[in-house]
């Protein structure tokens, strides 16, 4: 086996095992006796029956979430999130809850829980941070998706667990959520490289809901994506390490650092060992146990 092939196999073995935030209790449910694509689709259905995007719970689904369910967006640990779902509605996890009985989530949670179930089924999977192009035409919206190793196709495939039938209708999404393309979701590394080549306007990359965009946002997502590729799936509003504030300009050293991170993350299998080594060794990239969580405007120990 060539070196790249051996590294790819090592990478797949790594992503087939749970990480600190995706470990599930023994006996966690996942569909049995199905072919791979059907199993992945069933897992996505399971996740959509557990979670509801809190911001659109009322306008999209007609429900007002109680505080306990809405605050679930801040839960980092997948098992604790599932325990909360069971405390709200004790039926088996495989049974879809009505929207009012689901727990609040954002894109990262839809992706992370999907990854947790896939890994529990022995399927290599990872959460990716970057930008979705299907929410607002012409804009690159802050977003997370999941991707899994499709053994039949011999490649990684991105999937969109957040976009249930309601979401697809509301935003006019006509693609296949089980086969998200590189044009529909742009990883942070690809967005960074496109910006550096002058092919992408950084002022269209960010979050329209708060009217904040810029190269600093691409860099923040790149740091989150690197952590996720090390199975440290953080909240999208967690800040730590290298970066700069809106309105500031990056230093040359920062540009060169994120150039390097982007080069590694656009092809994680080819650079698997470098991704692991960089994250472990670089104080400005490794999550060291304390983050500033923007959503709560405070520092938190992780």
Structure confidence by residue, pLDDT tens digits, 285-296: 999 999 999 999
pLDDT at 25: 86
Q: Torsions phi, psi of 267, nearest 5?
A: -140, 75
pLDDT at 8: 85
Burial of 34 (0-12, 13-18, 19+ CB in 10 A): middle
pLDDT at 34: 42
pLDDT, one tens digit per residue, over 135-190 is: 999 999 999 999 999 999 999 999 999 999 999 999 999 999 999 999 999 999 99
Sketch the domain layout of the chain as residue ranges: 3-301
Residue pair 74/117 in contact by the 8 Å Cβ criterion: no
Residue positions counted in the chain: 302
Q: What is the mean pLDDT of residues 55-83?
A: 97
Residue pair 133/208 in contact by the 8 Å Cβ criterion: no
Residue pair 226/126 in contact by the 8 Å Cβ criterion: no
Q: With the CA atoms of 109, 112, 115 and 121 taken in that order, what torsion angle do they form, in degrees rounded to the nearest 10?
A: -80
The helix (H) or strand (E) run that includes residue 70 is helix 67-70
Q: What is the mean pLDDT of residues 79-103?
A: 95
pTM, to two decimals = 0.94
Mean pLDDT of the chain: 93
């Amino acid at each position: 086996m060539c070196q790249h092939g051996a590294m790819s196999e090592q990478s797949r073995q790594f992503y087939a095992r749970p990480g600190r935030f995706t470990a599930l209790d023994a006996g966690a449910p996942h569909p049995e006796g199905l072919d791979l694509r059907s199993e992945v689709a069933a897992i996505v259905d399971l996740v959509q029956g557990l979670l509801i995007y809190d911001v659109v719970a009322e306008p999209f689904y007609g429900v007002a979430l109680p505080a306990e369910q809405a605050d679930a967006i801040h839960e980092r640990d997948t098992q604790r999130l599932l325990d909360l779902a069971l405390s709200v509605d004790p039926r088996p996890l495989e049974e879809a809850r009505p929207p009012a009985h689901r727990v609040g989530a954002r894109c990262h949670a839809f992706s992370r829980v999907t990854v947790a179930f896939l890994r529990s089924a022995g399927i290599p999977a990872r959460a990716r941070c970057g930008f979705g192009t299907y929410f607002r035409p012409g804009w690159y919206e802050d977003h997370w998706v999941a991707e899994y190793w499709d053994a039949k196709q011999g490649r990684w495939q991105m999937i969109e667990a957040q976009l249930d039938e309601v979401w697809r209708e509301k935003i006019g999404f006509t693609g296949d959520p089980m086969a998200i393309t590189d044009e529909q979701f742009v990883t942070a590394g690809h967005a960074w490289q496109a910006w550096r080549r002058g092919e992408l306007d950084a002022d269209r990359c960010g979050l329209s809901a708060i009217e904040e965009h810029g190269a600093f946002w691409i860099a923040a997502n790149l740091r989150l994506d690197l952590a996720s590729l090390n199975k440290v799936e953080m909240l999208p509003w967690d800040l730590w390490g290298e970066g700069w504030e809106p309105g500031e300009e990056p230093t040359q050293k920062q540009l060169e650092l994120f150039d390097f991170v982007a080069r590694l993350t656009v092809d994680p299998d080819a650079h698997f060992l470098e991704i692991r080594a960089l994250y472990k060794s670089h104080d400005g990239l490794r999550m060291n146990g304390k983050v500033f969580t923007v959503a709560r405007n405070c520092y938190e120990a992780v």
